[in-house]
Amino acid sequence: MGVNERKSRERSSRREAILDAAEKIFSTKGVITSTIDEIAREAELGKGTLYNYFPSKEAILWYCAVRGMKILTGMMLSSVSPGNEPLINLRKMAESFMKFALRHNNYFRIFLTVGMGFSIPSGLTGNEVKEVFEKESPYLLIMEELKRGRASGLFRSDVDLNLLTHGVWIQFYSFMQLISLNPEMVAAFGLNHEKLIETNMMMIINGIRKDSGV
Amino acid sequence: MGVNERKSRERSSRREAILDAAEKIFSTKGVITSTIDEIAREAELGKGTLYNYFPSKEAILWYCAVRGMKILTGMMLSSVSPGNEPLINLRKMAESFMKFALRHNNYFRIFLTVGMGFSIPSGLTGNEVKEVFEKESPYLLIMEELKRGRASGLFRSDVDLNLLTHGVWIQFYSFMQLISLNPEMVAAFGLNHEKLIETNMMMIINGIRKDSGV
Amino acid sequence: MGVNERKSRERSSRREAILDAAEKIFSTKGVITSTIDEIAREAELGKGTLYNYFPSKEAILWYCAVRGMKILTGMMLSSVSPGNEPLINLRKMAESFMKFALRHNNYFRIFLTVGMGFSIPSGLTGNEVKEVFEKESPYLLIMEELKRGRASGLFRSDVDLNLLTHGVWIQFYSFMQLISLNPEMVAAFGLNHEKLIETNMMMIINGIRKDSGV
Amino acid sequence: MGVNERKSRERSSRREAILDAAEKIFSTKGVITSTIDEIAREAELGKGTLYNYFPSKEAILWYCAVRGMKILTGMMLSSVSPGNEPLINLRKMAESFMKFALRHNNYFRIFLTVGMGFSIPSGLTGNEVKEVFEKESPYLLIMEELKRGRASGLFRSDVDLNLLTHGVWIQFYSFMQLISLNPEMVAAFGLNHEKLIETNMMMIINGIRKDSGV
DNA sequence: TATGAATGAGCCTTCATTCAT
DNA sequence: GATGAATGAAGGCTCATTCAT
């Protein structure tokens, strides 16, 4: 029915509004020092209202992270094409990752916090969260391209696929970290983002090419 | 005098004991959720005693991080030798990094927390802290070897030295992060440490070799 | 609107209730040894609730003092009348002061504590506090009557007005002090309040009369 | 024996040194915010040493107050002479009071704190303390002179002696309070000490003269 | 559903006092 | 006697969560 539908839409958009506010606050002040009050104020909602949409502060954090991860995955997915060579696709994914790191660096702090030992609160059904973080993750996208690249003889096959994926994934990930957390270091050494991206992408790609000898 | 010397030794070892306890608690529970009480209990000391050695919880965190960084730098320094080829030295450093990540994976979480926006408390003279983090950092050791390697035509010179160093540093760092934060992931994929190290080192080295083309 | 009005009234009365509790505890145990927990318990409120109404313990103290000063000023103001002779008005003010000291001797300890070097917490707008303590104080009321008394040739004019006011003010004030702080002394010497009041008032008045020679 | 005597002298002077330090710290920072550490540091003694001479911080405070009271009483005693007229002696006592307030204004704040509800700690034999505060107090000196003055027809006899004494005592006390707690106020009004003293003494004396009628 | 006042567990830090040396 | 490292009770304040309206 129309009414229910509208209500559902409203509920959904309110959830998003809360996550918007949380993302902003979390990324600005750090997750731990952010308070529910601040998020509520930013969302222009009553504090109690937040608890009508999320069971706890930690849940808000997780759904924030989920949303970020979905954006990242979406960006990576839309940048690749099955018709492309794996090397091209990897490059595109790397570029997407970097773009995400630059454009949404808000999320990085949130990802890190989540990764640093915040266990998924038992209140969450967990399914959605688990799926996003384990099944749909960019990790699998990378692995897919590496597999194709090996099949076509482009990438080195002398190393376990998981190992290789891990290496690439970590490089993507930590690159974001250094962009996000050490702007002053980046500046101090006279580096700029574009060149960093270019250099690191080169290093990553070279690291996995078949003809790269030890 | 003997007495003073002994006292100084005792004071020093008590400091270390507190840092030991803190390191354990911090890395187990995360920095924020760790409490001074827990650290004191772990150190088998009264809560107040901790404050005879450190001015605040935050200071304890920082000196923990300093200690970890000193260990890391020390391991790297003692693994290289000016007589070695730069490639060898880089490999040794990488090995040290990995060893550190495996042996002292406690520290990584602490490094991360410190990096996540904890400012150095004004109470600390800061000198010691700043020096360790800025002047003696592994970053500079890596740069030194890269410089030598480029001079001897081994490493690619078509890229700014700072950029190159940054790239290598990121890769070292990421690898450490992988091992420290996701030990269960490493296990889950049936990866073993030697192979991880070998693979990643290979990837890193290849990324910077002169003959590696894009 | 009705709801908001009621809320405002509730908020206001809760504030007063907290100040009531604080006044009681402060005056019984002394300001410093009183704890927020005790005040909260006395007010039959949760500890945190107090902090919804006042930013700190010190602020509670100050607003207590402000309230007391307002009562005192009010009593003094309503006891005088512009039509009265200055001597009568001074007497009335003295009586009001004494009444206040007897009826609200709770406040005295609070005034003293505030006067003994507690600076106004920066969190307070300060306006209300400053006004009460500096602009509307009984001090000015006394001075006004002394001025009038001098103009009409009743009080001695050979002494600076400020000096005279100060002398009277201090006598009022410290009289309250001795009533409040040394009840056992009062008792020990077989004194009673009414006679003390009468005697001291006489001494004060005589001290300022024009025809009092040295 | 000589040795014991010297030891006794040493012990005594160390006690005094501690009280010196305490007086300085107490009056500078306020009794409550002063710490044993600060007093020990000021006295250039170990913290534990203080506890060899006094059983508690509160005891130090009390013996400080006792010492101050002894000084005050001493000053008053040596200023009067049985041969003088009572009016002269009262004047002298008043002068002593003022001098004390000016020279040792440190003490007043301590007196106030002690008066503000610090009970005499049970550890103290109490005798010395009680005696000083109750038997040797300036209060009795004043009473003595008032008695003599009434006998010689100088002071009003229509009022109970205790009441009268109380009145004078309060005025002395208030004056001391003014000078000690509000030195900046004294300065702000451009008042100078001599005039203050003169005015107040005049007010006090006039208040008790026989020929002062209401 | 929206709200925000009320709540109290929990935390960091201080400091008077003790006691082994 | 002198010392100061060790102690832990106690206090002010925060903030996630609840619940009556």
Whether C135 has a pLDDT exceeding 70, the answer reads: no
Residues D45, D51, D56, D59, CA torsion sign = negative
Q: Does D32 touch chain C (CB under 8 A)?
A: yes
Average pLDDT over residues D185-195: 65
Check residue D1 and give its pLDDT. 58
CA trace torsion A104, A110, A112, A115 (10° rounding): -130
CA distances from D29 to A130, C121, D38, D40 (A): 59, 17, 10, 15
Grade residue C200 by pLDDT with cuts at 50, 70 and 90: confident
Whether B31 has a pLDDT exceeding 70, the answer reads: yes
Grade residue D214 by pLDDT with cuts at 50, 70 and 90: very low
- Return the higher-pLDDT residue of C145 and A162: C145
Domains (range + CATH), chain A:
1-54 (1.10.10.60), 62-208 (1.10.357.10)
Lowest mean pLDDT among B17-21, C88-92, D198-202: D198-202
D170·C166 Cβ contact <8 A: no
Main-chain dihedrals φ then ψ at residue C43, nearest 5 degrees: -80, -5
Contact criterion met (CB below 8 Å) for A47 and A40: yes
Distance from CA of D184 to the nearest CA of C (A): 12
**Alpha carbon distance A24, A69 (integer Å):** 16
> What does DSSP assign to residue B209?
B
- Residue B143 sits at the vertex; the CA angle it makes with B142 and B149, to the nearest 5 degrees, is 90
pLDDT by residue (tens digit) across D133-175? Answer: 666 678 888 899 999 988 988 888 888 888 888 888 877 877 7
**Alpha carbon distance D199, C163 (integer Å):** 7
Q: Residue D97: which of D112, D79, D83 has the closest Cα?
A: D79
In the 3-class helix/strand/coil scheme, how is D173-199 assigned residue by residue?
HHHHHHHHHCHHHHHHCCCCHHHHHHH
Grade residue B56 by pLDDT with cuts at 50, 70 and 90: very high
| Tokens, residue B43 | 């150190």
> What does DSSP assign to residue C151?
H
Whether A149 has a pLDDT exceeding 80, the answer reads: yes
* Ordered DSSP codes for D147-162: HHHHHTT-B--SS-HH
Check residue D122 and give its pLDDT. 67
- Return the higher-pLDDT residue of A172 and A209: A172
Check residue A75 and give its pLDDT. 92
Exposure pattern of B50-76 as b/e (b: 16+ CB <10 Å)? beebbeebbbbbbbbbbbbbeebbebb
Distance from CA of A148 to the nearest CA of B (A): 19
pLDDT by residue (tens digit) across C29-62? Answer: 888 889 999 999 999 999 999 999 999 999 999 9
* Ordered DSSP codes for D57-125: HHHHHHHHHHHHHHHHHHHHHHH--TTS-HHHHHHHHHHHHHHHHHHTHHHHHHHHHHHTT-PPPTTS-
Q: H helices within B30-153, ranges in order? A: 36-43, 47-53, 57-79, 86-103, 105-115, 127-130, 138-151
**Alpha carbon distance C26, A157 (integer Å):** 79
CA A109 vs. chain centroid, Å, equals 10
Q: Does D164 touch chain C (CB under 8 A)?
A: yes
Residue nearest to nucleotide F11 (CA to C1'): C35
Lowest mean pLDDT among A39-43, A144-148, B181-185, C159-163: B181-185
CA distances from C211 to C207, D98, D129, D136 (A): 10, 26, 43, 36
Please count the helices (runs of H) and the strands (runs of E) in chain B: 11, 0
**Alpha carbon distance B143, D104 (integer Å):** 68
Whether C180 has a pLDDT exceeding 50, the answer reads: yes
Whether D50 has a pLDDT exceeding 90, the answer reads: yes
- Return the higher-pLDDT residue of B128 and D74: D74
Check residue A97 and give its pLDDT. 84
Which among B160, B190, B203 has CB closest to A207? B203
Average pLDDT over residues C134-160: 83
Share of chain B above pLDDT 90, in %: 24
Check residue A125 and give its pLDDT. 62
Main-chain dihedrals φ then ψ at residue D158, nearest 5 degrees: -80, 5
Neighboring chain A residues of B112 at a CB cutoff of 8 Å: 112, 116
Average pLDDT over residues C94-121: 79
Grade residue D16 by pLDDT with cuts at 50, 70 and 90: very high
Lowest mean pLDDT among A182-186, B75-79, B148-152, B160-164: A182-186
Whether A212 has a pLDDT exceeding 80, the answer reads: no
**Alpha carbon distance D183, D180 (integer Å):** 6
pLDDT by residue (tens digit) across A162-191? Answer: 777 877 887 787 767 666 656 666 666 666
> What does DSSP assign to residue B159?
S
A167·B203 Cβ contact <8 A: yes
Neighboring chain A residues of B181 at a CB cutoff of 8 Å: 115-116
**First vs last C-alpha separation in chain B:** 66
Q: Does B121 touch chain A (CB under 8 A)?
A: no
Average pLDDT, chain D: 82
Check residue A181 and give its pLDDT. 57
Average pLDDT over residues A187-196: 69
The residue with tokens 């008042």 is: D191
Output the distance from B50 CA to F10 C1' rounded to whole Å.
18
At residue C154, the 3 state secondary structure works out as: coil
* Ordered DSSP codes for C48-114: HHHHHH-SSHHHHHHHHHHHHHHHHHHHHHHH--TTS-HHHHHHHHHHHHHHHHHHTTHHHHHHHHH
